[in-house]
Structure 1
Amino acid sequence: MDRQQILSMYEWAIGTCFRHPAKGKVRTTVVGSIHPRCGGERKVLGCEDCVIAMEDIRREVAARTGGEYKPGHLGECLG
């Protein structure tokens, strides 16, 4: 699966990437969530480059552990 196919599996909106805030407002998608001590939940947004990097890591871990790799599921299940 190529980069564009993976990116098309996500819903995108303009936001600030958690890892690259200096880029300013770019296309982002939800890649996770955090629960601050003060309560509530905050969505963590990642840019296209971060999504591809995280998908690459997931693919490598699946290959190393014999697990199945299914792209397009960042932010759905953390842990």
Structure 2
Amino acid sequence: MDRQQILDLYEWEDGVCFRHPDKGALPTAVVGVIHPGADSVREVRGCADCVVAIEDMRREEAARSGSEYEPGRVGEPSG
């Protein structure tokens, strides 16, 4: 898959990237969820460059471990 095909697998909305907060609001996708308090949930959002970088890491890890790589799953619970 090329970069745009991977990005098209995600839902995008304006937000602040967890790695690039200095860029301000820009299109982001959910890359994780944290639970900072007992009753609270916060989405961790990433910009397109970060989503692609995370997908690259996932693909490389799948190749190393011999497991199947399925793009478009960043931010979903594992297991």
TM-score (norm. length: structure 2): 0.94
Q: One-letter code of the match for 1:55? A: E
| Structure 1 residues without counterparts, runs of 5 or longer | none
Does 2:67 correspond to 1:67? yes
- Listed one character per residue, the Cα deviations across residues 9-40 of structure 1 (whole Å, up to 9, x for unaligned) are 00000110011001111100111011113641
User: How far, CA to CA, are the matches of 1:65 and 1:49 in structure 2?
Assistant: 24
- Listed one character per residue, the Cα deviations across residues 51-75 of structure 1 (whole Å, up to 9, x for unaligned) are 0000000000000000000000111
C-alpha contact 1:14 1:25 (8 A) present in aligned 2: yes
- The size of the alignment, in residue pairs, is 79
C-alpha contact 1:34 1:43 (8 A) present in aligned 2: yes
Does 2:24 correspond to 1:24? yes
The residue number in structure 2 matching 1:42 is 42
The residue number in structure 2 matching 1:7 is 7
The residue number in structure 2 matching 1:58 is 58
Q: One-letter code of the match for 1:43? A: E
Q: Percent identity?
A: 62
User: How far, CA to CA, are the matches of 1:58 and 1:18 in structure 2?
Assistant: 18
C-alpha contact 1:32 1:78 (8 A) present in aligned 2: no
Supply the RMSD in Å over aligned alpha carbons.
1.2
